[in-house]
Structure 1
Amino acid sequence: MTIDPERITVTDFSLKHRVTVHYTGSFEDGEVFDTTIGRTPLTYVEGNHEVVPGFEVAVLGMEPGEKKTVRLEPKDAYGEHDPRLLYTMPTIEIPNYEDLIPGQLIYLMNGEGYQQLARVIRVADDADTLFDFNHPMAGHTLTFELELLSREPYTGEEA
């Protein structure tokens, strides 16, 4: 068997695309947590981990102009809620602890000197304050209404 080099085609599976999509995201109870409707649509590069995995997979199979609704389990979105990411700290050791409000998102410095986002769960004047370092949407099933506006080749050379 001979191979004619003139008839060989190569598919470049490393080619990325810049996609532009409108979306509305909601929780299981129907509460909308974010939407691009009435705003600038979301643009991202496929394969660059700029959106949650399930969102990217759902958009991969779409054609421009197509609309669909997808339901993402926590593992395909922001992950399961991890109880190991709950931390307590003696309230008395927290500067201005009286300003903390349960539900509030604040940045705390970790052991390596980096800031990390945490949610205040409980503040007890004479005990411990509880912080949750999970992503605020961890453990939630999310629904996205998607409309793919465009998919263009991305070379990585654009700034």
Structure 2
Amino acid sequence: MKISNDKVVSIEYTLKNADGQIIDTSVGNAPLEYIHGRGYLISGLEKDLEGKSEGEEFTSEIEPKDAYGEFDESMVVEVDRKQFPEGIEIEEGMQFEAEYGQLVTVKSVTKDKITIDANHPLAGVKLFFDVKVVSVRDASPEELSTGLYGGCGGCGCDGDCSGGDCSSGGCGCGCDC
């Protein structure tokens, strides 16, 4: 069966940058499973998976525009230190969730100012994937309706989206269901 829209696809992957440094991998863990054509993957990788079959292995080069976008200098801003709660030690490299669930990275800290970057950490980075298609199957009507894990909290983690703690469209447990 070939990968096309509304198929449940399971892949093993290793993600590297241009220097060959491993950024992420599913090797040694469970394969990544998703419903094809629903925007669960970066667009460049999903496009390269289209038409592949179970057992196929390939390497994919993804340009920033087809991954996490180009680096946007306007998303690097300097803010007053007093905008952060007192007593919290802010350090360069820290990441935290800002308003509306956006991840920001602290770039520099002075006595009075903190420079933060709201770009995705992989914005502007060309990505290299080594991929093996583990399985391809038709999605069930329920999976197409609610997602692979039954929607929020359906992954078995016992999370829920009550109380407004759902920041990524998931249940808040970090499993991205």
The structure 1 residue matched to 2:114, chosen from 129, 135, 140, is 129
How large is the Cα RMSD of the aligned pairs? 1.7
Name which of 3, 7, 12 aligns with 1:22: 12
The structure, 1 or 2, with the larger RCO (C-alpha pairs under 8 Å, 6+ apart) is 1
The two structures have a TM-score, normalised by structure 1, of: 0.82
Higher strand share: 1
Secondary structure of the equivalent of 1:150? strand
Q: Residue in 2 aligned with 1:11?
A: none
Q: 1:28, CA displacement in angstroms?
A: 0.7
- Other structure's SS at 1:99 match: coil
Distance in 1, matches of 2:36 and 2:53, equals 14
Q: Aligned equivalents of 1:41 and 1:24: distance in 2?
A: 11
Unaligned runs of 5+ in 2: 144-149, 151-177
Q: Which has the larger radius of gyration?
A: 1
- Give deviations 1:46-85, integer Å, cap 9, x for gaps: 1111110011111113111010011111011111011121
- Indicate conservation of the 8 Å contact 1:15/1:154, yes or no: no
Distance in 1 of aligned mates of 2:88 and 2:103: 19
Structure 1's consecutive aligned runs of 4 or more residues displaced over 2 angstroms after TM superposition are none
Q: Does the residue aligned with 1:145 lie in a helix, a strand or coil?
A: strand
Letter in 2 for 1:82: D
In structure 2, what is the equivalent of residue 152 of structure 1? 137
Hey, what's the Cα distance between the residues in 1 that align with 2:16 and 2:79? Answer: 33
Task: Tell me the TM-score normalized by structure 2.
Answer: 0.74
State the secondary structure of the residue aligned to 2:27.
Answer: coil
